[in-house]
Structure 1
Amino acid sequence: MKRRVIQWATGAMGKTCLRAIIDHPDMELVGLFVYGDDKVGRDAGDIARRPTTGVIATRNIEDIVSLEADVVVHCARLAPPYGSHDAEILRLLASGKNVISINGYSRSKHWKGERLAALEAACAVGGTTLMAAGLNPGYVGEQLAVVATGVCSALDHLEVVESVDCRVVRNPDYVFRVLGFGADPELVDPNDEAWGPASSLNGMYAEVLSAMAEHLGLALEGVATDHRVFAASEPLSIAAGQIAQGAVSHVNWRWHGLVEGQRRLTMSIHWYMETAHLPEIAPPLWRIHIKGQPGVKISVDMEKHEGDTSPTSAEQIGVAGTVINAIPWVCAAPAGLMTRPLATPFNGGGAQFVGRLATPHPET
């Protein structure tokens, strides 16, 4: 039985997910929500550079809510503050559609009060489930790092360090407003929850640590931040524009999960526009460091399949893979707020081998 899937948003990540849905033999695309006026009315296949699908893009949420679908893949761009997409997700859940988000909701039960109650109520009304997918949040922290502790008889500290080269990101609004690059470091307190980027990310990664703690059986008491910004060592020319010397060129986001008053879990993310401030010049995508008995060190990178010359990155493809592999889990789950399972592996039942995928298109 094919899963009926709606794709929400077609930015770089969303478009890659859209292609994966169209290509997959066990998925049927039934709806497409877009934000740009230039995409409204176009066939999903045209947007994804795939054959015609008969699914026409809309930016009217009523068109989406009225559809019969098993799941919505929600790929709206990160926007401050965290939770700014709650209203549309509540509507989707209440309309009878499971939702997978790539930008948060790793453990919505972390929150208390009205927000938690609203999400739980929407799931109850629709008989639906909300779950997160993606790489980080997602795969590296909630799954890979936690599973790596399986050799430990004692655990002191678990740290995940991610290093992301942001120089290729083209959207100026996203780079300079949402991510915080180009700001005056003298006027920025990255640990101020009111600062735009922090207001977007703090809640998201609090949920990541909460999900990790749940899997590890730890009682998370709170989350402390230790964010740092670094100034450009020289004028920088990047895909999104210019960064003046002395302006923010590198942000190291750090969240620490507190257990019994101690920092036991750490998520550290380096977003950089130059390598000058990195601990190492060519870091892997992820380093996992577990201090325990025994300790564990893992270095992880991603690469595209040989012969794939498209500009779509391995990370974008990886996000789409986590979404595809999560769909059967969220559809089978009981209604409610779901923490991603420790493993959502590739499902060979769909016989999805690289040679059977559509030929990558030279443009994204």
Structure 2
Amino acid sequence: MTYKAIQWATGAMGRAVLRTMIDHPDVEVVGVYTYSPQKVGQDIGLLAGRAETGVLATDDLSQILALDADVVVHAGMLKPYTDHTDDFVPLLESHKNVICLNGYSNPAYWDQEHSRRIAQACLDGDASFMGAGMNPGVVVEQLAATASGLCSRVDTIRITECFDAAEIRNPHYLFEMLGFGGSVDNDPNDPAWGPTAALNPMYEETVSVLAARLGMRLDAVTTAHEFLPATTDLTLPAGLVAQGTVSHTRWRWIGHVGGAPMIVLTINWFVEEAHLGGDQGMWTVQIDGQPCVTLRTEVTKNPDDHSRMGAEQYSVGGVVVNALPYVVDAPAGIVMRPLSTPYRHVW
């Protein structure tokens, strides 16, 4: 089966998914929505570093809604969590399934208007909505849950991510949305502060998915975020991170079960390695119980690939194309992604 897909947004991750879908023999990309006026009217193949396709990018929502498509892959820029709902609703109402890369893996966790709006739009458009990605996504919601199947008792689960953000080239994203180069005196645990307001709901929801998969009832999800200072001036593609300003953000969400910390999700985003300490590797899952389990996951590019696209970007593209059959075949409504969405061989 060939899936007709629309890519929403063409930032670094959006372009990576777009390229993956253009390359995949089971996907036909029929449209691209872009925020950038400079990209409007450009051939989507050229935007993805591929041959021309004859399909042009647009910033006109009415053109996107008029397209005949099975699915929209939404990779909007990180912003306050509920702000993307206004994108989802008309897409779903136009009979297009939606895959979201920025969380929304379990909107039912929130007793809020945005989850009810999404669910109603799914019913109105006979469409399905699913969150997908690496983290949020595969690492916590699939790998950690699967690894727990080796245990007869689970005491704690710790998931750690380490991501080098030094090559991010978008100054707004690096400095404003992720908080690099700011004052370490800011309080990253203030839920009203911009990056925290965007990340807290997304990753609390991720913790809730793992808890639900393991039959656990969360008492609460607390935070223990930290800012760590640059040891020297750092000149990056996006700009300067001055000595003493934030060069490492250590985000930590703690899911409490039965009055004790049970699930600890730590995300290290850094532009220098000085503060990594014992945290190494792209993703690590550590389960303490009987027996104890350690799962380390690294992704690396095919040695024949010499593009600037990173291995983690390719992995998100893979996650999306492997999730397409599930969201398209699902009944109308919000779908929690299955525990496994494996690669499907194309004959």
Please indicate the TM-score interval, normalised by the length of the shorter structure.
over 0.9
Secondary structure of the 1:193 match is coil
Give the corresponding residue for 2:49: 49
The runs of at least 4 consecutive aligned structure 1 residues that moved more than 3 Å come to none
Matched ranges for 1:196-211 at <5 A:
196-211=194-209
Matched ranges for 1:1-364 at <5 A:
1-79=1-79, 81-186=80-185, 188-280=186-278, 283-348=280-345, 350-351=346-347
Secondary structure of the 2:52 match is coil
Secondary structure of the 1:104 match is coil
Query: 1:116 and 1:14 mapped to 2: Cα distance?
Result: 24
In the alignment, residue 335 of structure 2 is paired with which amino acid? M
Equivalences, count: 347
Query: 1:124 and 1:205 mapped to 2: Cα distance?
Result: 26
Q: Deviation at 1:70?
A: 0.6
Query: 1:254 and 1:197 mapped to 2: Cα distance?
Result: 13
Query: 1:31 and 1:308 mapped to 2: Cα distance?
Result: 26
Q: Deviation at 1:241?
A: 0.8
TM-score calculated relative to the size of structure 2: 0.98
Query: 1:338 and 1:258 mapped to 2: Cα distance?
Result: 25
In the alignment, residue 292 of structure 1 is paired with which amino acid? G
Query: 2:54 and 2:148 mapped to 1: Cα distance?
Result: 47
In the alignment, residue 107 of structure 2 is paired with which amino acid? S
In the alignment, residue 114 of structure 2 is paired with which amino acid? R
In the alignment, residue 341 of structure 2 is paired with which amino acid? T
Secondary structure of the 1:83 match is helix
Secondary structure of the 2:38 match is coil
Query: 1:93 and 1:222 mapped to 2: Cα distance?
Result: 31
Q: Deviation at 1:14?
A: 0.7
Query: 1:34 and 1:303 mapped to 2: Cα distance?
Result: 28
Q: Deviation at 1:261?
A: 1.8
Q: Deviation at 1:92?
A: 0.7
The CA RMSD over aligned residues, in Å, is 1.1
Query: 1:133 and 1:43 mapped to 2: Cα distance?
Result: 26
Query: 1:23 and 1:224 mapped to 2: Cα distance?
Result: 41
Query: 2:59 and 2:339 mapped to 1: Cα distance?
Result: 35
In the alignment, residue 126 of structure 1 is paired with which amino acid? G
Q: Deviation at 1:222?
A: 2.0
Q: Deviation at 1:85?
A: 0.9
Secondary structure of the 1:265 match is strand
Q: Deviation at 1:160?
A: 0.5
The worse-fitting range, judged by mean Cα deviation, of 49-58 and 308-317 is 49-58
Q: Deviation at 1:95?
A: 1.2
Uncovered stretches (5+) of structure 1, i.e. residues with no partner: 352-364
Query: 2:257 and 2:61 mapped to 1: Cα distance?
Result: 42
TM-score calculated relative to the size of structure 1: 0.93
Identity, in percent, stands at 46
Residues 120-147 of structure 1: per-residue CA shift (max 9 Å, x gap) = 1111101111111111111111001110
